[in-house]
Chains A and B, each alone.
Chain A
Amino acid sequence: MISYQGFTKQFGRVLAVHDLTLELRQGETLALIGPNGSGKTTTLKAALGLVRPSHGRVAVDGHDVATDGRTARARLGYLPQRIAFPDGCTARELLRFYARLRGAAPSHTERLLARTALDGAADRAVEGYSGGMRQRLGLAIALLGEPQALVLDEPTAALDPSGALLLRDILADIQREGITVLLSSHDLAEVAALAHRIGIFVAGRLALLGTTAELVRGLGVPGLEDTYRRTTTTRLIA
Chain B
Amino acid sequence: MTTSIVACTATPEATGDEATRAAIVHRPAPMRAIALIARHELRTALRSRMVPAFAALFTVLTTGISLAGLGASGELVVQGFMRTAVSLASLALYVLPLLGVVMGAAAIGGEDGGAELLLAQPVGRAEALLGRTVGLAAALALVSALGFGAAALVVVLGAGADGIAGYVLVALGATAVGIVGVGVGVLVGVLTRRRTAAVAWALALWFAAAVLYDLVAIGVLQIVGNGQPGPWLVALLSLNPLDGVRAIALIALGADVLLGPAGAALERLFGAGGGMAVVIGSLTVWMVAPIAIATRCFARRDF
Listed in ascending order, the chain A residues whose CB lies under 8 Å from chain B are: 11, 19, 25-28, 45, 48-52, 61, 69-71, 73-76, 78, 80-89, 93, 97-98, 100-104, 138, 141, 145-148, 151, 177-179, 196-197, 202-203, 205-211, 214-215, 218, 235, 238
Given contacts A27-B12, A27-B15, A196-B10, contact A74 B48 (CB under 8 A): no
Q: How many residues of B contact A (CB 8 A)?
A: 48
Q: Of B3, B4, B24, B49, which one neighbours A146 at CB under 8 angstroms?
A: B24
A210 to B6, CA, bound (A): 5
Contact B300 A101 (CB under 8 A): no
Residues of B within 8 A of A70 (CB): 27, 122-124
A50 to B33, CA, bound (A): 18
Is B219 interfacial (CB-CB < 8 Å)? Answer: no
Is B75 interfacial (CB-CB < 8 Å)? Answer: no
Residue of chain B at shortest CB distance from A208: B4
Cβ distance B97 to chain A, nearest Cβ, rounded Å: 24
Interface residues in B1-18 (C-beta closer than 8 Å to A): 1, 3-18
Interface residues in B42-61 (C-beta closer than 8 Å to A): 43-44, 47-49
Contact A102 B121 (CB under 8 A): yes
Cβ distance A231 to chain B, nearest Cβ, rounded Å: 9
Dominant secondary structure of chain B at its interface with chain A = loop
Cβ distance A117 to chain B, nearest Cβ, rounded Å: 20
Cβ distance B46 to chain A, nearest Cβ, rounded Å: 8
Given contacts A74-B122, A206-B3, contact A83 B10 (CB under 8 A): no
Cβ distance B14 to chain A, nearest Cβ, rounded Å: 4
A87 to B300, CA, bound (A): 28
Contact B14 A26 (CB under 8 A): yes
Residue of chain A at shortest CB distance from B23: A146
A207 to B120, CA, bound (A): 28
Residue of chain B at shortest CB distance from A100: B36
Cβ distance B121 to chain A, nearest Cβ, rounded Å: 5
